[in-house]
Amino acid sequence: MKLYLTLILLLPLLGAVTNALVGRKLPRRLVETIACGAVWGSFAAVVGALALYSSTPVTVELASWLSDFNFKAPITLYLDPLSLSLTLMITFVCGLIHLYAVAYMADDPGYVRFFVLLNLFVCAMLVLVLAENLPLLYLGWEGVGFCSYALIGFWYKETKNADAGRKAFITTRIGDTALGIAIIWLFQLFGTVSITELNRMGFLVPAGVVTTLGILFLIGAMGKSAQVPLMVWLPDAMAGPTPVSALIHAATMVTAGVYLLARMLPLIGGSGTALAAIAITGGVTAFFGASCALAQRDLKRVLAYSTISQIGYMVLGVGAGAVTAATFHLLVHAFFKALLFLGAGCVITALHHEQDIFRMGGLRDRPAIFYPFLTGALCLAGVPLTGGFFSKDSILAAVWEKGGALYGGLYGVGLATAVITSLYTFRLLYLVFAGEPYAPPFEKGGTGGISASADKQIPLNPPFTKGEAIRSLPRLMELPLIPLALLGLGGGLLNLPAFLGHGLLTDLLTPVTGPVHHPAAGTELLLQGAATIACLAGFLVARVRYAGTARQSRISEATREPSGLTAFLLHGWYVDHLYRALIIRPYERLAGFLWQRVDEGIIDDSLDRFADLLGRTGQGLGRWTSGRVSVYLLSLAAGAALLVGYLAWGLP
C-alpha cells in the first residue's frame, strides 16, 4: 500500500520535474508522453490501492516535514473512502484532460511549461486530498493555487490574462489565511494538527470555539471553491486554456473547499451555527451563480458561473450534514462539467476561437461534439435519470429532511436555482447548436467580458462564412468526451436513492460519515417529482425564448448594449465593481500615500530634520569659539556666575 500511495504522488511530481528540467531538449511527442504517462500511471496506482483497500483507512508516513518540539507535521497520507473516491476521480479526469490537452495545445509553443504545470497541479491536488495533517493539506492547497495562478496567466503576454491569474491567486489567498489561522488555533487547542485526531476531539472545546473554527474553514473554502463573497476570481479564470478550465476550474481544484469542509465535518459539524453558515453560503452561491449564468454571452463564462452555482449546491449539501450527497455531486459534477468544458473547447476550436454564444449556431450536425455536450448539458440541467439529477436531488433531499425554517427556505432556493439552471442550460444549447451557422454583422468583442481576449495566442480568423466555417477537430480532442459522457449519464448508478436500490457510494462512505439517514420512499419520490418539474419548467421557458424563430430575435437583441437586469447579471451583480471601489483602489492609493507621505514624509523627514538641527546647533556652537577674547571672557564670567550661584543657593 505504501508503494502505491507513494507512486500516486511521485509519478506526477516526477513528470513535472523531468519536463521542467529537460523538456525543452526533448522531442514534443516525448514530453507529451511523459506528462500523460505520469498521470495515467498515477491512476493505475490508485486502482492498485483500491484493489488492496479493505474497509479500514490506511495511514502511511512517507517522510518528515515540519517537526519542531511538539509541533509535528510529517508527510503522512491518509487513505479512506472519501480520499480514495476523490483520488480515483482526480487521476481519471486529469488523465483524460491531459490527453485532450495534447491535441488542444498542438499549436502552442509553450507546451513544456503547460504540461509541467499541469503535472505539478495533479501532484498538489493529490497531496491536498490525501494529506493526513492540516499543514500538509495546506501545502497542497497553496500548491494548487500557485498552479492555477500560473495556468490562468498561461498566455502571459495579454495583460488581461495575467491580471486574471493574479486576481485568482490573491482572492483565494484571502481565504487561505482563514484556513491557516484555523490550523494554528487547532494546534494551540489540541496540540496536534492530524486531521484524524482532530476529528475525534471536537467535543473537548466549547461550542463557540467550534463555530468560529467552522467559519474559518468556511472562509478558506469560499476562496478556493469560489463561494460568495470570494467568488469573483472564477469567471475571470476562464482566461486560461480550456483544458485548464476543465481540470482546475471545474472538476478538481474548485471542489477542494467542499472536500475540506466534508473532511473536517466531524469536528465542525458539532456546531449547528457553523453548519447553518455553510448551508447559507452554499445556497446563496448556488442562486448567485445560476442567475449570473443566465445573462452571460461568453460560452466559458456561462460554464464558469454554472460551476460556482453547482459548487454552491455541494456546499449546501455539506451544510445539511450530507457528506455523501455532497461527495456524490462533487464526483458527478466533475465528470459532466469537465465534459462540458472539453466540449466547449471543441466548439471554440471548431469555430476558430469564437467564444460568444450569440455568434454560434448550427453545430448539431457535428455529432462528435453535439452528443457529448448534450449529455453534459442534460446532467447539468438535472434531467431525470441522468447522474446530475440524482446527485443534485440527493442534496436537496438532505436539505429538505433537515427541516426547519432555515433549511426549508434553502430547499426553496435550491429548487428555484434548479429552474434557473435548466433555463440557462437549454438557452446555451439552443444558441450554440440550433439554427444556422451565424455570420455576424457586428464586430468581435461585444460586452461579453473576456471573450475578446481569451484564447488569443493563435491569431483570430476574420468572421467566417457558412460552409467552410467549421474546422474539423483531431480525434484526440473528441475521444475523451465519450467516457466522461458515459460517466456523467450513468453517474446516478454510483449512488441510487435508497428506494431504487443500493447506494454504492453511501456504502463506501458510511465509515466516514456514519449511518446515513434516508428519507422515506414517498418523500423521496415527491422531491424527485418537484425536481423534475423544476427542470421541465426551465426547459419550457428556454424553448419559448430561444427555440425556432425566437432564437433569431434574441440574437438581434443581443447586438444592443445590455441594460437593467441583464447588465446586472452579466456583470455578476457588479460585485467586481464594488470590490474595486471599496478595497482595491483604496489599497493602491493608500500604499502610495504610506510610502510618499508617511514613510518618506513623516518618518524619514523627521530624522533628516533632526540631523539638520544637530548640524546647525553644531555650527552655532562652533561660532562661539570665534577666537575673540571678549567672547571668551564673557563666557568665563557667565560660567563663574552660574557656579557661584549654584554653590550659594544649591547647597544649603
Partner 1 sequence: MMAGYPLLTILVFLPLTGVLCLLPLWQRQEWTRRIALLFGLADLTLAGWLTLAAGSARLLPGNSPPGFFLFEDLPWIGRLGARYTLGLDGISLLMVLLTAFVTLVGMVVSWNAIRERSALHYALLLVMESGIMGVFLALDLFLFYLFWEVMLIPMFFLIGIWGHGRRVYSAIKFFLYTLAGSLLMLLAIIGIYLLHGSQTGQYTFGLMSLTGTAIPAQAGIWLFAAFLLAFAIKFPLFPLHTWLPDAHTDAPTAGSVILAGLLLKTGAYGLIRFGYPLFPDAAKTLTPLLTGVAVIGILYASWVAFAQTDMKRLVAYSSVGHMGFVALGIAAWTPVALSGAVMQMVNHGVTTAALFALVGMLDERSGTREVAAYGGLWGKVPLLSGLFLLFAMASAGLPGLNNFVGEFLILTGTFRVQPLAAVLAFLGIVLPLAYTVKLLQEVLFQHERRPLALPDLSLREGTILTVMALIDLYLGLHPKPLLDLLNVPVALLTGLTGGAP
> Cα angle vertex 84, ends 81, 87, to 5°?
150
Residue 482 near residue 370, CB atoms below 8 Å: no
CA within 13 Å, CB half, 417:
32
CB neighbours (10 Å) of residue 641? 10
State the Cα–Cα distance between residues 444 and 437, nearest whole angstrom. 16
Cβ at position 12, least distance to partner 1 in Å: 14
Cβ at position 599, least distance to partner 1 in Å: 5
Q: Which is nearer to partner 1, 20 or 530 (CB)?
A: 20
Cβ at position 172, least distance to partner 1 in Å: 10
Q: Which is nearer to partner 1, 50 or 162 (CB)?
A: 162
Please give the span between the terminal C-alpha atoms of the chain, in angstroms, as a whole number. 94
Residue 339 near residue 308, CB atoms below 8 Å: no
User: What would the grid cell of residue 348 be?
Assistant: 471554440
Rg, C-alpha atoms of the chain: 30
Cβ at position 233, least distance to partner 1 in Å: 12
* CA 93 remoteness from chain centre: 16
Cβ at position 479, least distance to partner 1 in Å: 32
299-319 helix and 404-433 helix, angle to the nearest 10 degrees: 160
Among the residues of 434-474, which ranges form H helices? none
Identify whether 266 is preceded by a cis peptide bond (ω within 30 of 0).
Answer: no
User: What would the grid cell of residue 283 be?
Assistant: 445556497
Q: Which is nearer to partner 1, 156 or 632 (CB)?
A: 156
Helix (H, G, I), strand (E, B) or coil at 59: strand
Cβ at position 206, least distance to partner 1 in Å: 15
Q: Which is nearer to partner 1, 64 or 553 (CB)?
A: 64
User: What would the grid cell of residue 27 be?
Assistant: 522531442
Q: Which is nearer to partner 1, 185 or 464 (CB)?
A: 185
State the Cα–Cα distance between residues 605 and 507, nearest whole angstrom. 70
CB neighbours (10 Å) of residue 600? 12
State the Cα–Cα distance between residues 5 and 45, nearest whole angstrom. 7
Cβ at position 100, least distance to partner 1 in Å: 25
CB neighbours (10 Å) of residue 47? 14
Q: Which is nearer to partner 1, 180 or 446 (CB)?
A: 180
Cβ at position 110, least distance to partner 1 in Å: 9
Cβ at position 91, least distance to partner 1 in Å: 21
List of residues contacting partner 1 (CB under 8 A): 63-71, 135, 138-139, 142-143, 146, 149, 153, 156-159, 162-163, 165-166, 169-170, 173-174, 177, 180-181, 184-185, 187-188, 587-588, 590-592, 594-596, 598-600, 603-604, 607, 611
Residue 466 near residue 361, CB atoms below 8 Å: no
State the Cα–Cα distance between residues 391 and 225, nearest whole angstrom. 18
Cβ at position 588, least distance to partner 1 in Å: 7
Cβ at position 210, least distance to partner 1 in Å: 17
The phi, psi pair for 58, rounded to 5°, reads -110, 135
Q: Which is nearer to partner 1, 158 or 576 (CB)?
A: 158
Single out the residue of 258, 13, 3, 260 nearest to residue 131, CA to CA.
Answer: 260
Cβ at position 238, least distance to partner 1 in Å: 18
CB neighbours (10 Å) of residue 515? 7
Single out the residue of 185, 314, 198 nearest to residue 267, CA to CA.
Answer: 198
Q: Which is nearer to partner 1, 260 or 350 (CB)?
A: 260
Q: Which is nearer to partner 1, 57 or 74 (CB)?
A: 74
Q: What is the DSSP string of 66-89?
A: EEETTEEEEEEEEE-HHHHHHHHH
Q: Which is nearer to partner 1, 63 or 651 (CB)?
A: 63
Q: Which is nearer to partner 1, 25 or 623 (CB)?
A: 25
Q: Which is nearer to partner 1, 67 or 617 (CB)?
A: 67
